[in-house]
Amino acid sequence: MSEKMAQTAAGAGSDFDRLTLDWYIDKLVQALVFIGGISAIVFIIGIFVFISREGFGFLLGEFNFKEFFFSPNWRPTSETKETFGILALVAGTASVTGLAMLIAIPFSLGAAIFIAEFASGKTREFLKITVELLAAIPSVVWGFIGLAIMNPIIIETFDVPVGLNVLNAGVILGLMAAPIMTSIAEDALNAVPDPYREAAEAMGATRWQVIYKVVLPAAKNGLLGAVLLGVGRGFGETMAVLMATGHSINIPTSVFDSVRALTATIAAELGETAAGSPHYQALFTIGIFLFVITFIINLAADLVVRGVKKG
Amino acid sequence: MVKLGVKDLAISYGNETILEGVNFDIQEHEIFGIIGPANAGKTSFLKAVNRMDLFNTDMQVDGDITFNGVNVQKVRNVYGLRRRIGVVFPLPVGLPLSIYDNVALAPRLAGQKDRAELDVIVERCLTRAALWDEVKDRLNSLGSMLSGGQQQRLTIARALSQDPELLMLDEFSIAVDPVTTMRIEDVLKELRDELTIILVTNLVQQARRLADRTAFFLGGRCVEVGVTEDLFTGEVKDTRTRDYVDGRFG
């Protein structure tokens, strides 16, 4: 009897040491997922190293901090004296992004609230699909709309000589960013559990009171994420702003001034510079600058979200 | 005085009738118990009373429910109706607001802005829900971060903050420990002087401790309505009631 029990125990023990196919598959999947996870970090570091290396020569040589950030003169191909001031380009990008957000934030939040809280059934499905379709329109098509449709409309409506300006690009960029912001904001609103809504409505809160007092506070992290994603999109968008801003170096004093964006400058000029020349390296320095700005926006978002969670 | 009148009530979801033939009157200042096994239609009944059927387009309510003599199905401003009826759900829902704001929400919805008044209401309601001592030093932390039992007491405080005429509790003690349950039960007994209470419960002994009269729901029917003590001493019209309160099924 006792011998038999000992045997069974030994048999069970050896079973624990045998590595089955399931065990190997588990390890393999873990390894693959790990590679997928760290690849994002590797790529980010790789991109940063690459653009830094290309722009490094400029940073050590011709780079003049004061000129680069505070001079509105971007004259990289001047015969007499080359100047690399990005102030006007920063102003161009910032003004277009700012106007775009003024348009996109109310539109996208309104659309998200309508889809998530009011629309139901077929209306809701139809709107969701439409919004996703809008988000998939290539930026060059938006640029074309700015160039071919918005341009004459602005010239005629406001009686200005040129319709390619901050207003045009801001509207185009706002419309471009709104669908993706709507999508993210709607996800954030959907993530708010229904019992919250029911509890508040059971207390006699009206639909708007439920949204304003309960749903929006509960979803504020996700909504903030949506807005910051829109800002990131505004900073990074290239083709549409290249086509709709007028692409002329200017510190805008009104929405009817043409401007030039940081990204559009890189896109338009990089192909025509000699690799390794100061101009080429200066464009990469702009790249580093954009990279740092994006990093700061994301970091700020992260910190804000964490702060919100703690509170 | 009849606080809540129910006449020929039938509730269905799509083609499936889940409750029918319900007739009773609930008197003012009464604790009215509703007992019965799962799927007896107890929660749906509460939903029909404060018009929560509007959340579910499938839900169809027939017959009459009158609150203070007014047919709730014909009320135009359901928000006004709901403000006079407090509800406590089985699973606690601490709204993602501070503890203070959770309790101050209903008075604020009703237009109360005076901070001193709100302070008084918040303290009174939290005290009554047996939660004040545990949270008085951290009223600004999130209500949704409290433990399950504390959240449940928070929802009771929130329901009381509406200053309701009718309080409906749907198995409030599921997530609450026995000691706290007894404390809340004592509070409910005191509240009888001020308002009318509908107590839906799975615990037949809880109904016996608290309810003046009790209805027994079974399989979508209201099998029995009577003085609670009669139900427990065998004075019943339907033998299934006796079997249920004796714990022979359900």
Asked if residue B19 has pLDDT above 80, the reply is: yes
Residue A57 structure tokens: 């020569």
Per-residue model confidence as pLDDT tens digits over A221-262: 889 888 988 898 888 899 999 999 998 998 999 999 999 999
Q: Are residues B115 and B61 in the same domain?
A: no
Give the separation between CA B149 and CA A100, rounded to whole angstroms: 47
The answer to whether the Cβ–Cβ distance between B82 and A204 falls below 8 Å is: yes
Question: What is chain A written as a DSSP string?
Answer: -HHHHHHHHHHHHHHHH---HHHHHHHHHHHHHHHHHHHHHHHHHHHHHHHHHHHHHHHHTT--HHHHHH---EETT-SS--EE--HHHHHHHHHHHHHHHHHHHHHHHHHHHIIIII--HHHHHHHHHHHHHHHTS-HHHHHHHIIIIIHHHHHHHHT-S---SHHHHHHHHHHHHHHHHHHHHHHHHHTS-HHHHHHHHHTT--HHHHIIIIIHHHTHHHHHHHHHHHHHHHHH--HHHHHHSB------SSTTS-B--HHHHHHHHGGGSPTTSHHHHHHHHHHHHHHHHHHHHHHHHHHHHHHHHH-
Per-residue model confidence as pLDDT tens digits over B60-92: 999 999 999 999 999 889 999 999 999 998 888
What was the pLDDT predicted at A311?
Answer: 43
What was the pLDDT predicted at A309?
Answer: 54
* Number of residues assigned to chain A: 311
Question: What is A82-146 written as a DSSP string?
Answer: -EE--HHHHHHHHHHHHHHHHHHHHHHHHHHHIIIII--HHHHHHHHHHHHHHHTS-HHHHHHHI
Q: Are residues B233 and B181 in the same domain?
A: yes
Give the separation between CA A213 and CA B96, rounded to whole angstroms: 10
Identify the residue among B93, B100, B112 best suited for mutation to test binding to A, counting A beta carbons within 10 A and taking the highest. Answer: B93
Q: Are residues B179 and B214 in the same domain?
A: yes
Parallel/antiparallel/unpaired status of strands B213-218 and B31-35: parallel
Give the separation between CA B115 and CA A212, rounded to whole angstroms: 20
- Cβ atoms of B130 and B180 within 8 Å: the answer is yes
Measured between CB atoms, which of A201, A203, A209 is closest to B158? Answer: A203
Give the separation between CA B103 and CA B132, rounded to whole angstroms: 11
Distances (CA, A) of B88 to A145, B9, B97, B118, B173: 55, 22, 17, 21, 10
Range scoring the smallest mean pLDDT among B63-72, B98-107, B168-177: B168-177
* Number of residues assigned to chain B: 250
Residue B53 structure tokens: 């059927």
Terminal C-alpha separation, chain A: 65
Per-residue model confidence as pLDDT tens digits over A40-77: 999 999 999 998 888 888 888 878 888 889 888 898 88
Q: Are residues B170 and B250 in the same domain?
A: yes
Measured between CB atoms, which of A202, A204, A214 is closest to B80? Answer: A204
Give the separation between CA A98 and CA A174, rounded to whole angstroms: 9
The answer to whether the Cβ–Cβ distance between A201 and B96 falls below 8 Å is: no
The answer to whether the Cβ–Cβ distance between B109 and A209 falls below 8 Å is: yes
Asked if residue A172 has pLDDT above 90, the reply is: yes
Q: Are residues B19 and B75 in the same domain?
A: yes
Over residues A156-173, mean pLDDT:
94
Asked if residue A5 has pLDDT above 80, the reply is: no
- Cβ atoms of A143 and A189 within 8 Å: the answer is no
Asked if residue B160 has pLDDT above 80, the reply is: yes
Tell me the one-letter amino acid at A136.
A
Over residues A157-185, mean pLDDT:
94
Where among B139, B163, B187 does a domain terminate? B163
Place of tokens 């319709």: A163
Chains A & B: contacts with CB separation below 8 Å: 64
Residue A153 structure tokens: 């409309």
What was the pLDDT predicted at A55?
Answer: 86
- Helix pair A262-269, A220-236: axis angle to 10 deg: 40
Q: Are residues B25 and B127 in the same domain?
A: no
Q: Are residues B97 and B192 in the same domain?
A: no
Residue B89 structure tokens: 């759900």
Per-residue model confidence as pLDDT tens digits over B114-133: 999 999 999 999 998 889 99
What was the pLDDT predicted at A104?
Answer: 96
Task: List beta partners, residue B10.
Answer: B62
Asked if residue A4 has pLDDT above 70, the reply is: no
Q: Are residues B117 and B208 in the same domain?
A: no
What was the pLDDT predicted at A137?
Answer: 93
The answer to whether the Cβ–Cβ distance between A214 and B95 falls below 8 Å is: yes
Where among B136, B163, B190 does a domain terminate? B163
The answer to whether the Cβ–Cβ distance between A205 and B109 falls below 8 Å is: yes
Residue A159 structure tokens: 């009686």
Degrees, nearest 5: CA angle B138-B143-B149 = 100
Give the separation between CA B107 and CA A17, rounded to whole angstroms: 65
Percent of chain B clearing pLDDT 70 (strictly above): 100
Q: How many domains does chain B have?
A: 2
Q: Are residues B6 and B111 in the same domain?
A: no
Q: Which of A310, A267, A311 is nearest to A93 (CA)?
A: A267
What was the pLDDT predicted at B177?
Answer: 86
Give the separation between CA B33 and CA B89, rounded to whole angstroms: 15
Per-residue model confidence as pLDDT tens digits over A263-304: 999 999 999 998 888 899 999 999 999 999 988 888 877 777
What was the pLDDT predicted at A7?
Answer: 54
- Kindly list the domain boundaries of chain A, sorted by start residue: 2-61, 83-310
Give the separation between CA A109 and CA A127, rounded to whole angstroms: 14
For residue B125, count CB atoms less than 10 angstroms from its CB and return exposed for 0-12, middle for 13-18, buried for 19 or more. Answer: buried
- Cβ atoms of B210 and B185 within 8 Å: the answer is yes
Nearest CA in chain B to A215: B96
The answer to whether the Cβ–Cβ distance between A214 and B96 falls below 8 Å is: yes
Q: Are residues B42 and B147 in the same domain?
A: no
- Cβ atoms of A83 and A72 within 8 Å: the answer is no
What was the pLDDT predicted at A12?
Answer: 55
What was the pLDDT predicted at B172?
Answer: 87
ipTM of the complex: 0.83
Domain A83-310 has CATH 2.102.10.10: no
- Cβ atoms of A198 and B55 within 8 Å: the answer is yes
Task: List beta partners, residue B98.
Answer: B142
List CB contacts of A195: < 8 A, sequence separation 6 or more: B89, B91, B93
3-class secondary structure, B59: strand
What was the pLDDT predicted at A90?
Answer: 94
Where among B163, B195, B213 does a domain terminate? B163
C-alpha gyration radius of chain B: 18
Q: For residue B89, list chain A residues with Cβ-Cβ distance below 8 A.
A: 195, 198-199, 202
Q: Are residues B192 and B155 in the same domain?
A: no
Over residues A141-148, mean pLDDT:
94
Percent of chain B clearing pLDDT 90 (strictly above): 54
Over residues B90-100, mean pLDDT:
86
pLDDT, averaged across chain B:
90
Asked if residue A13 has pLDDT above 90, the reply is: no
Asked if residue A18 has pLDDT above 90, the reply is: no
CATH number, domain containing residue B13: 3.40.50.300
Q: Largest Cα–Cα distance in chain B?
A: 55
Give the separation between CA A156 and CA A159, rounded to whole angstroms: 5
Q: Which domain holds residue B29?
A: 1-84+164-250
Identify the residue among A124, A203, A209 best suited for mutation to test binding to B, counting B beta carbons within 10 A and taking the highest. Answer: A203
